[in-house]
């Protein structure tokens, strides 16, 4: 029972804060709202026997990534509100409909699903989320994926450096 | 007879051409070009001569050699081999082509000596000899047509040899277009033969044509007429003759070899070769004879007013080929070939002498700017005199025998023959007149006003020797068949003529014709002497003034060019203009723009989605996912 | 009574849909990136839920890889935003349409 209460609170927090991210016009507030979502999702991870993923979620996601966001928002400062009407105005209704249709489809798919044990409570979890299990999985079965992620990060770092450098050059050129 | 010799005869000039073409991007040394250019033709001539000697040692019925390299195509029983036929008829052509060809190529080494495209000239000459040999040595219609088209190409290349001259380029184009017209006729005839006889090699076609086509049938007439279209285009017969005088834009040796001695007689060869088919088509044969007679008379009249030495000779060539075609149409195949032989000698001779004159006067071709050259070029004077006497039909020069043979036998070849014989006689008067008009004006008479800028110079031995040899041949060439004495040509060609009607002139006709030809020659020469020779040519002005309309008409060459322009070129151009104005925008472009319009419309639709807005793209992803999801749910 | 996979999937779908809505309606590229983070988290919740359901580590490994990708994406995205900002261009994704057809 305690698990369900914890899940309900975390789920409500995640979805509520997500709604804040989408609706708040101030980027700073939206970013803070995202932290709420990320922390709530970390709780969901914990409840699903994934303590390592939850820790990474808090440290890397909520810690590093969102801080980077806040940093950029602070650097860019307050932007004047956009002038002029939304050029996508006439599409907005269509877009909302599209998303609605997608959600409805997802719900239909979910409710009609015959996946065995989908509606039953989880069985007793084995050792699937400990750092040891994750580490073994990475170096054992998924070593190639592990190497690929390192490559992705390297490329991202290079890209960031390049972008920053070009921006600096562009400024100097003026 | 050795087949290898036949193949070497054919392929030596081709090898020479390839060697010249392949000898590097730089111009090779003149010595090398000379050696290859002349050597390859000489080798060819030597092999032909060896074949000839071998053939002489055989009996009549063993004198045909067919050598097959390989089967070229086998289409539903229609077998086409790459094979050569060497028989008395093609032997005769081969000897003239390679023999006269060697002499003329040798002459060209000097004549073209100052030209910077020395190598190109000899490569093209070698190619022509190869093509001409292929034409006469082919053992079936397919390779005959290949050779036929190749000589057309060689002629085109050599007429347009001086490609910086617009007139030369235009003449080359004209020759090519008209020749292609003839090619089409030839191809149509071949297709018809393949359909009706089921074979294309000469032996089978001529053996089974009488049964397969039937004498006097429409098909036989059609085939004969279509063959004549080819022959008329190649041999410059009315109304497809207009290209030959213009072809004089090419170098003089080219005119001598291609447009006098060999290529233009290909039509005569074709008709003689297909004598079986023409004997099956009496109406077509009559048409051929009449066309030849019209051509010989018309060309002779036009030649009387020409002011360019080469054009006089060109019209004379058209006229002389008219004699051959007329003879072939009347069934006098041996007469046609005899005249071909003597004409090859004396016309090549006269062209080469004309070349010497032109060379001596640094390129001057107008006979107005000539005169009194007897004093400067005595050898040429003698040689040109020999040529003129030969063509005018004065015994014992070669032309007398061959022309007399045609006229005498024509007289005894039915009513049409009588009429045409008289036309031929009239042509003979004109021939003697226009040849000696040229002769007197060039070599006799006063020098042109102001004299010559440079003293006309005699050529070296390289240029003189071939001309002298041809001169000797022009004298003695006719002695192989002297009326009532011997029948060299008739017996020689007999194995090749499967359907020779064997028209022979009676003794009475023979002697009467000899007398009349002699009279014709004497009258022609006499009139020419009176107007142009005696008294320094004062009377020619009077003559020109007396008949201005006739003179104008002849200078316009019987208005054939404007007539063809009006009848063919102008309607064609109008049709093209109409098509461009009316049909093209709606028809051709309409269809095309339908396709492009569809593509543009589709593109415009797709373009609307590519408006560069990130969110629209994202929405596209959403839509796609939604569609896939629906498909998955429904598909389950 | 425990928690079933169904709940996880519902939460996952909700997060994903909200993020998608954000991507479609926000015009500030910063907020766009935040919305993309929401969608990625929605996917991660589903992955972790399945991992728990099948009692397997693979789903969690996948979720961690997604986080790496998210980190890389944020670095590049923010780098672009800063570069665009330095060019004095208004921060509006609709204005960035140079690839228009």
Nearest CA in chain B to C32: B615
- Name the DSSP letter for residue A81: P
- Cross-chain residue pair C57–A137, CB shorter than 8 Å: yes
Residues B163/B175, Cβ–Cβ less than 8 Å = no
What are the start-end ranges of the H helices in A24-142?
27-47, 51-56, 66-76, 89-112, 131-139
Mutation pick from A82, A90, A94, A101 vs chain B, by most beta carbons of B within 10 Å, is A101
**Alpha-carbon distance B130 to B147, whole Å?**
8
CB atoms within 10 A of CB A136: 14
Task: Provide the 3-class DSSP secondary structure of residue A121.
Answer: strand
Task: Provide the 3-class DSSP secondary structure of residue C45.
Answer: helix
Residues C49/C2, Cβ–Cβ less than 8 Å = no
CB contacts, 8 Å: C24 with chain B: 615, 618-619, 622
**Alpha-carbon distance B504 to B141, whole Å?**
30
Q: For residue A81, what pLDDT is reported?
A: 52
In this prediction, residue B503 has a pLDDT band, given cuts at 50, 70 and 90, of confident
Residues B455/B376, Cβ–Cβ less than 8 Å = yes
A158 membership: H or E segment, kind and range: helix A143-173
Residues of chain B with a CB closer than 8 angstroms to some CB in chain A: 613, 615-616, 619, 622-623, 625-626, 629-630, 632-633
Distance from CA of B622 to the nearest CA of A (A): 7
Between B364 and B588, residue with greater pLDDT: B364
> How confident is the model over B104-141, as pLDDT tens digits?
999 999 888 888 788 889 999 999 999 999 999 999 99
- Cross-chain residue pair C94–A88, CB shorter than 8 Å: yes
Tokens of B161: 């040899």
Q: Using CB atoms, pick whichever of C17, C38, C51 lies closest to residue A50.
A: C51
SS3 content of chain C, % helix, strand, coil (to 5): 75, 0, 20
Task: Provide the 3-class DSSP secondary structure of residue B613.
Answer: coil
- Cross-chain residue pair C94–B615, CB shorter than 8 Å: yes
Q: For residue B499, what pLDDT is reported?
A: 80
- From the centroid of its chain, how far is CA A96? 21
Percent of chain A exceeding pLDDT 90 equals 33
B14 membership: H or E segment, kind and range: helix B3-22
Tokens of B551: 């003179």
In a domain? residue A31: yes
CB contacts, 8 Å: C19 with chain B: none
Contacts of B473 (CB under 8 A, 6+ apart): B345, B349, B398
**Alpha-carbon distance B440 to B381, whole Å?**
10
Domain assignment of residue A174, given as a range: 130-174
Say whether residue A19 is in contact with chain C using an 8 A CB cutoff.
Answer: yes
Residue carrying structure tokens 């960035």: C96
Full DSSP string of B257-302: IIIIISGGGHHHHHHHHTHHHHHH-HHHHHHHHHHHHHHHHHHHHH
Where among A56, A77, A98 does a domain terminate?
Answer: A77
Q: Is B52 exposed, middle or buried (0-12, 13-18, 19+ CB in 10 A)?
A: middle
Percent of chain A exceeding pLDDT 70 equals 87
**Taking all residues of chain B, what is their mean pLDDT, rounded to a whole number?**
88
Task: Provide the 3-class DSSP secondary structure of residue A130.
Answer: coil
Give exposure, C39-50, as e/b (b: 16+ Cβ within 10 Å).
Answer: bbbbbbbbbbbb
Nearest CA in chain A to B615: A88
B81 membership: H or E segment, kind and range: strand B78-86
Contacts of B372 (CB under 8 A, 6+ apart): B443, B444, B445, B446, B447
Helix/strand/coil (H/E/C) assignment for every residue in B157-199: HHHCCCCCCHHHHHHHHHHHHHHHHHHHHHHHHHHHHHHHHCC
Nearest CA in chain B to C100: B612
SS3 content of chain B, % helix, strand, coil (to 5): 80, 5, 20
Task: Provide the 3-class DSSP secondary structure of residue B67.
Answer: strand
> Could you report how far apart the first and last alpha carbons of chain B are, in Å?
87
In a domain? residue A36: yes
Tokens of B325: 């075609």
Tokens of B277: 């088919």
Domain ranges in chain C?
A: 5-91
In a domain? residue A148: yes
Distance from CA of C24 to the nearest CA of B (A): 5
> How confident is the model over C1-46, as pLDDT tens digits?
578 888 999 999 999 999 988 888 887 888 889 999 999 999 999 9
Residue B393 sits at φ, ψ, to 5 deg, of 85, 45
- Provide the β-strand partners of residue B74: B79
- Name the DSSP letter for residue B23: S
- Cross-chain residue pair C93–B613, CB shorter than 8 Å: yes
pLDDT at A171 over 60: no
Full DSSP string of B437-492: HHHHHHHSSPPPTT--SS------HHHHHHHHHHHHHHHHGGGGS-TTT--HHHHH
Q: Is B296 exposed, middle or buried (0-12, 13-18, 19+ CB in 10 A)?
A: buried
CB contacts, 8 Å: C1 with chain A: 1, 4, 121
> How confident is the model over B17-55, as pLDDT tens digits?
999 888 766 666 788 888 998 999 999 999 999 999 999
Which A residues in the span 140-159 are in contact with C, Cβ-Cβ below 8 Å?
141-142, 145, 149, 152-153, 155-157, 159
CB contacts, 8 Å: A99 with chain B: 622
pTM (global) more than 0.90? no
Q: Using CB atoms, pick whichever of B612, B615, B622 lies closest to residue C100.
A: B612
Say whether residue A126 is in contact with chain C using an 8 A CB cutoff.
Answer: yes
In a domain? residue A100: no
In a domain? residue A41: yes
Stretch among A65-69, B271-275, B559-563 having the lowest mean pLDDT: B559-563
Q: Are residues A5 and A69 in the same domain?
A: yes
Nearest CA in chain C to A124: C55
Q: For residue B548, what pLDDT is reported?
A: 79
Q: Measured on CA atoms in the order C71, C75, C77, C78, is the torsion positive or negative?
A: positive
> How confident is the model over B385-420, as pLDDT tens digits?
999 999 998 888 999 999 988 999 998 888 888 999
**Taking all residues of chain A, what is their mean pLDDT, rounded to a whole number?**
84
- From the centroid of its chain, how far is CA B111? 22
- Cross-chain residue pair B613–C97, CB shorter than 8 Å: yes
Residues C44/A141, Cβ–Cβ less than 8 Å = no
Q: Calculate mean pLDDT across residues B202-222.
A: 89
In a domain? residue A58: yes
Tokens of B339: 């005249």
> How confident is the model over B544-597, as pLDDT tens digits?
677 778 888 888 887 888 888 888 888 888 898 888 888 877 777 777 788 888
Tokens of B333: 């195949």
Q: Calculate mean pLDDT across residues A46-67.
A: 90
**Alpha-carbon distance B438 to B306, whole Å?**
9
Nearest CA in chain B to A106: B629
The pairing of beta strand B65-75 with beta strand B78-86? antiparallel
**Alpha-carbon distance B301 to B316, whole Å?**
9
Q: What is the CA radius of gyration of chain B?
A: 29
Percent of chain B exceeding pLDDT 70 equals 97
Nearest to B248 by CA among B146, B354, B372: B354
* CATH (residue range C5-91): 1.10.287.3510
Which B residues in the span 565-624 are in contact with C, Cβ-Cβ below 8 Å?
606-607, 609-615, 618-619, 622
- Cross-chain residue pair A101–B633, CB shorter than 8 Å: no
pLDDT at C89 over 70: no
Between B429 and B483, residue with greater pLDDT: B429
- Provide the β-strand partners of residue B78: B75
Residues B437/B528, Cβ–Cβ less than 8 Å = yes
Tokens of A153: 């990060």
In this prediction, residue B329 has a pLDDT band, given cuts at 50, 70 and 90, of very high
In this prediction, residue A174 has a pLDDT band, given cuts at 50, 70 and 90, of very low
Q: Using CB atoms, pick whichever of B613, B615, B622 lies closest to residue A102.
A: B622
**Alpha-carbon distance B453 to A113, whole Å?**
112
In a domain? residue A141: yes
Nearest CA in chain B to C25: B615
Q: Measured on CA atoms in the order B586, B592, B598, B602, is the torsion positive or negative?
A: negative
**Alpha-carbon distance B461 to A104, whole Å?**
107
Q: For residue B347, what pLDDT is reported?
A: 93
**Alpha-carbon distance C15 to C39, whole Å?**
6
> How confident is the model over A75-113, as pLDDT tens digits?
887 665 555 566 666 667 777 788 888 888 888 888 888
Residues A133/A126, Cβ–Cβ less than 8 Å = no
Residue B66 sits at φ, ψ, to 5 deg, of -115, 120
Instruction: Give chain A's domain count.
Output: 2
Q: Are residues A1 and A72 in the same domain?
A: yes
- From the centroid of its chain, how far is CA A154? 21
Say whether residue A15 is in contact with chain B using an 8 A CB cutoff.
Answer: no
- From the centroid of its chain, how far is CA B346? 16
Give exposure, A110-119, as e/b (b: 16+ Cβ within 10 Å).
Answer: beeeeeeeee
């Amino acid at each position: 029972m305690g698990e369900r209460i914890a899940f309900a609170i975390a789920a409500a927090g995640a979805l509520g804060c997500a709604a804040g991210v989408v609706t708040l016009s101030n980027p700073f507030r939206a970013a803070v709202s995202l932290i709420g979502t990320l922390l709530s999702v970390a709780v969901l991870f914990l409840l699903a026997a994934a303590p390592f993923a939850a820790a990474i979620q808090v440290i890397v996601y909520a810690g590093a990534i969102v801080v980077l966001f806040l940093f950029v928002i602070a650097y860019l400062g307050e932007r004047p509100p956009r002038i002029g009407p939304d050029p996508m105005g006439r599409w907005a209704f269509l877009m909302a409909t599209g998303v609605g249709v997608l959600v409805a489809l997802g719900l239909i798919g979910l409710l009609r699903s015959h996946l065995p044990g989908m509606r039953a409570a989880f069985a007793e979890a084995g050792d699937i989320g400990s750092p040891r299990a994750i580490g073994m999985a990475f170096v054992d079965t998924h070593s190639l994926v592990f190497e690929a992620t390192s490559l992705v990060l390297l490329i991202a770092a290079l890209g960031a450096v390049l972008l920053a450098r070009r921006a600096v050059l562009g400024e100097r050129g003026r | 007879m050795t087949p290898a010799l036949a193949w070497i005869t054919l392929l030596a000039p081709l090898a020479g051409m390839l060697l010249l073409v392949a000898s590097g991007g730089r111009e090779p040394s003149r010595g090398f070009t000379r050696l290859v250019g002349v050597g390859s033709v000489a080798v060819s001539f030597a092999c032909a001569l060896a074949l000839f000697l071998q053939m002489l040692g055989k009996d009549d019925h063993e004198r045909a050699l067919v050598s097959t390299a390989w089967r070229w195509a086998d289409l539903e029983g229609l077998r086409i081999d790459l094979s050569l036929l060497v028989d008395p008829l093609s032997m005769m052509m081969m000897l003239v082509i390679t023999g006269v060809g060697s002499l003329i190529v040798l002459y060209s080494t000097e004549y073209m000596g100052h030209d910077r495209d020395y190598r190109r000239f000899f490569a093209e000459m070698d190619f022509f000899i190869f093509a001409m040999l292929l034409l006469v040595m082919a053992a079936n219609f397919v390779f005959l047509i290949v050779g036929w088209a190749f000589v057309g190409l060689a002629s085109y290349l050599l007429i347009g040899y001086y490609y910086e001259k617009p007139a030369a380029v235009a003449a080359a184009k004209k020759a090519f277009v008209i020749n292609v017209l003839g090619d089409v006729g030839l191809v149509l005839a071949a297709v018809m033969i393949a359909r009706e006889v089921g074979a294309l090699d000469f032996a089978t076609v001529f053996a089974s044509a009488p049964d397969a086509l039937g004498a006097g049938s429409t098909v036989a007439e059609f085939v004969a007429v279509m063959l004549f279209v080819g022959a008329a285009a190649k041999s410059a017969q009315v109304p497809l003759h207009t290209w030959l005088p213009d072809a004089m834009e090419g170098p003089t040796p080219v005119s001598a070899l291609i447009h006098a001695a060999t290529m233009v007689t290909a039509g005569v060869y074709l008709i003689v070769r297909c004598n079986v088919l023409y004997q099956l088509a009496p109406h077509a044969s009559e048409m051929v004879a009449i066309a030849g007679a019209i051509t010989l008379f018309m060309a002779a009249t036009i030649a009387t007013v020409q002011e360019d030495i080469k054009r006089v000779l060109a019209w004379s060539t058209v006229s002389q080929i008219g004699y051959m075609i007329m003879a072939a149409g009347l069934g006098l195949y041996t007469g046609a070939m005899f005249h071909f032989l003597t004409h090859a000698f004396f016309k090549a001779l006269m062209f080469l002498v004309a070349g010497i004159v032109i060379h001596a006067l640094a390129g001057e071709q107008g006979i107005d700017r000539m005169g009194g050259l007897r004093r400067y070029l005595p050898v040429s004077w003698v040689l040109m005199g020999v040529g003129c006497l030969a063509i005018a039909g004065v015994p014992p020069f070669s032309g007398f025998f061959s022309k007399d043979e045609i006229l005498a036998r024509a007289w005894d070849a039915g009513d049409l023959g009588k009429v045409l014989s008289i036309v031929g006689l009239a042509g003979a008067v004109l021939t003697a007149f226009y040849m000696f008009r040229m002769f007197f004006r060039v070599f006799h008479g006063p020098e042109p006003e102001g004299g010559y800028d440079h003293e006309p110079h005699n050529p070296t031995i390289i240029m003189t020797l071939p001309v002298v040899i041809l001169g000797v041949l022009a004298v003695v060439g006719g002695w192989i068949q002297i009326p009532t004495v011997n029948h060299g040509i008739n017996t020689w060609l007999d194995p090749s003529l499967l359907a020779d009607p064997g028209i022979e002139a009676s003794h009475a006709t023979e002697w009467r014709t000899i007398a009349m030809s002699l009279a014709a020659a004497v009258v022609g020469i006499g009139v020419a002497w009176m107007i142009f020779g005696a008294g320094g040519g004062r009377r020619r002005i009077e003559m020109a003034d007396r008949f201005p309309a006739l003179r104008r008409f002849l200078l316009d060459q019987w208005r054939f060019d404007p007539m063809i322009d009006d009848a063919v070129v102008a309607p064609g151009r109008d049709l093209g203009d109409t098509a461009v104005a009316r049909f093209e925008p709606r028809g051709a472009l309409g269809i095309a723009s339908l396709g492009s319009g569809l593509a543009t419309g589709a593109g415009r639709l797709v373009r609307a989605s590519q408006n560069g807005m990130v969110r629209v793209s994202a929405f596209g992803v959403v839509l796609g996912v939604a569609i896939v999801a629906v498909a998955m749910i429904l598909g389950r | 009574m425990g928690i079933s996979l169904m709940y996880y999937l519902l939460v996952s779908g909700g997060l994903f849909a909200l993020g998608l809505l954000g991507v479609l309606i926000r015009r500030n590229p910063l907020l766009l990136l935040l919305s993309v983070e929401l969608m990625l988290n929605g996917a991660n919740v589903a992955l972790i839920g399945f991992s728990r359901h099948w009692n397997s580590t693979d789903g969690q490994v996948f979720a961690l890889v997604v986080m790496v990708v998210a980190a890389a994406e944020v670095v590049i995205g923010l780098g672009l935003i800063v570069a665009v900002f330095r060019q004095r261009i208004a921060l509006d994704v609709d204005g960035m349409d140079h690839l228009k057809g």
